Amino acid sequence: MSNYRKEFIVKPGSEIRLKHFDAGYHGKHESHKAALTEIQENLQKMDQLQYLMYAENKHSLLIVLQGLDAGGKDGVVRHVLTGMNPEGCVSVNFKQPTKEDLAHDFLWRVHPHVPAKGSVAIFNRSHYEDVLVVRVHDLAPEKVWSKRYDQISDFERLIATENNTTILKFFLHISKEEQLERFKKRLDDPDRQWKISASDYKEREYWGDYIKAFEDVLTKTSTEYAPWFIIPSNHKWFRDLAISQIIVGQMEKMGMQLPKPTVNIAEIRREYHQAVNGKKR
């Protein structure tokens, strides 16, 4: 099995240029059908590992999804993270900040959604919007957003060290041509037309600006405690395979175990048998 963690991780200190990464890469598999068994096995393992996390109540997991429009963030939540039990997992979408949000520091609205021990949180877009959209559309001066890379890293270090939170950040890398093809499919499919935004094609004019902004994010904020992974995402099935494998591998490294019972099992068993025997009489 390929080690996608090692293959796609952004090593701290690396200077990233996305033109050097093939968005169409698909590893050893040639099709979704060929990869399906492996994907399903990963989802089953994810379910088992999340059960351990919930029961042990010592670890938490934060999954951050970022990418250009039509990159597949919703698809990952729907197809990969379906392996998570909703009771211990929440998906949060950070949209345009409210008036109240803007009255506080930019991380104020994020912290309440950080996962508690035993839980998983998925950020479908995230605190990184404040060095992406804010930068590209000049919503704040450079002297403001340029300080946020260090502030974000400090925030992530805090939750990683103080709450034993594992942080995995995935950049869903698609080509400009693939994005246009996905927009076309939305136009042609009545079941997907609701996803069309008036700004979809307008935002393509800023493609180069977004790429540069993402390159700086990947370069400046990939750390040992909160690494970025550049996931080739032109093939949706390969995106799902790579992300699911990385998540499973990281959860396995936590060494989680079921906690010991807090009650006297022998005594509870005796009471059970007494209750059963009493009914029979």
Question: Does residue 250 sit in helix, strand or coil?
Answer: helix
Q: Which of 30-44, 111-125, 189-203 is predicted with the least confidence, judged by mean pLDDT?
A: 189-203
Q: Whole-prediction pTM value?
A: 0.94
CB 26 within 8 A of CB 236: no
Average pLDDT over residues 224-236: 98
Q: Does residue 67 sit in helix, strand or coil?
A: strand
Distance CA 111, CA 29 (A): 39
Domains of the chain: 4-280 (3.40.50.300)
Nearest to 244 by CA among 66, 61, 42, 53: 42
User: How much is the mean pLDDT over the chain?
Assistant: 94
pLDDT tens across 11-42, in order? 999 999 999 999 999 999 999 999 999 999 99
CA distance 128 to 110: 10
Q: What is the pLDDT of residue 35?
A: 96
How distant, in Å, are the alpha carbons of 62, 145, 161, 189, 257 from that of 58?
A: 14, 34, 12, 45, 10
